[in-house]
Amino acid sequence: MLLPLLVRPSLCSSRASVLLPGCIRMLPGGAVARTLHFQAEDFLRRRLPARLVTQSRGRKWRSQQDEWRTRNKTVLTYIAAAGVGMIGLSYAAVPLYRLYCQASGLGGTAVAGHDTEQVATMTPVKERVIKVTFNADTHASMQWNFRPQQTEIFVVPGETALAFYRAKNPTDKPIIGISTYNVVPFEAGQYFNKIQCFCFEEQRLNPHEEVDMPVFFYIDPEFDEDPRMARVETITLSYTFFEAKEGQKLPLPGYSYN
């Protein structure tokens, strides 16, 4: 339908001559029609593909934008789910990690439980004297007064020892506390064994009540055989009390509370 329009005399105007320069040359006979026909074909070859390519590129770009939006929404969904999962794991990991540390002595946590036969048969290493110091802390929300009864004692590996902490509730209401503990240096935690203590067990103090809390422990004789412990002369046992809700308890596997 374009060719009949191109052969019309009105196309040989100043505006059309820009697109079809041959229009201004009036050739005799059918030469004018043939010239316009060839120029129209050349015009179609040069102009129409460019428009089609532009339209194709536009559709492709919109398709890529839609795909990117979909991918971004998917990534954001995964990130949000991972964040929620990490928060949940952080709450669950605290008691689980403490239990693991208690069983392995990792991170400066004293080993929970003891082998009765080992305690009865172990041989003290008399030439290796170790100073054990005691530290007491309370969480900011805990209103107890909590302190060790002694600042330090001297023990040797393979020998049992007894120490005491004292806690007092100076308020007019009952408060339940629960404690955690660790040993410094951390590497010594695997050799620091507790036979009896008040850790990870609820302690309820009535208004103005004061109690003594015993810690019965020993240092494994293998402490003296570990090259990493060669320069260790002082071990610090630290307790921290937190206020607990009634019924909250962190049991320790293999630990005797008798």
- Domain spans of the chain, in order of start: 56-107, 118-243
pLDDT, residue 4, reads 47
pLDDT, residue 61, reads 72
- Cβ(177)–Cβ(151) below 8 Å: no
- Cβ(43)–Cβ(19) below 8 Å: yes
- Cβ(181)–Cβ(222) below 8 Å: no
Half-sphere exposure of residue 80: CA atoms within 13 angstroms, side-chain side: 6
d(C-alpha 39, C-alpha 60), whole Å? 32
**Angle at the Cα of 183 from the Cα atoms of 182 and 186, rounded to 5 degrees:** 110
Residues 6+ apart with CB under 8 A from 14: none
pLDDT, residue 50, reads 53
> Could you say which architecture CATH assigns to the domain 118-243?
Sandwich (2.60)
pLDDT, residue 11, reads 44
Secondary-structure breakdown of the chain: helix, strand, coil percentages, each rounded to the nearest 5 = 45, 25, 30
95-112 core/surface letters (b: 16 or more CB in 10 A; e: else): eeebbebbbebeebbbbb
d(C-alpha 241, C-alpha 250), whole Å? 13
pLDDT, residue 13, reads 46
Per-residue pLDDT in tens (0 to 9) along the chain, 258 residues? 444 444 444 444 444 444 444 444 444 555 555 666 666 666 655 655 555 545 566 666 777 777 777 877 787 787 888 777 666 555 444 454 454 444 444 444 445 555 667 777 889 999 999 999 999 999 998 999 999 999 999 999 999 999 999 999 999 999 999 998 889 999 999 999 988 888 778 899 999 999 999 999 999 999 999 999 999 999 999 999 999 865 555 444 333 434
Place of tokens 């010594």: 188
d(C-alpha 81, C-alpha 130), whole Å? 50
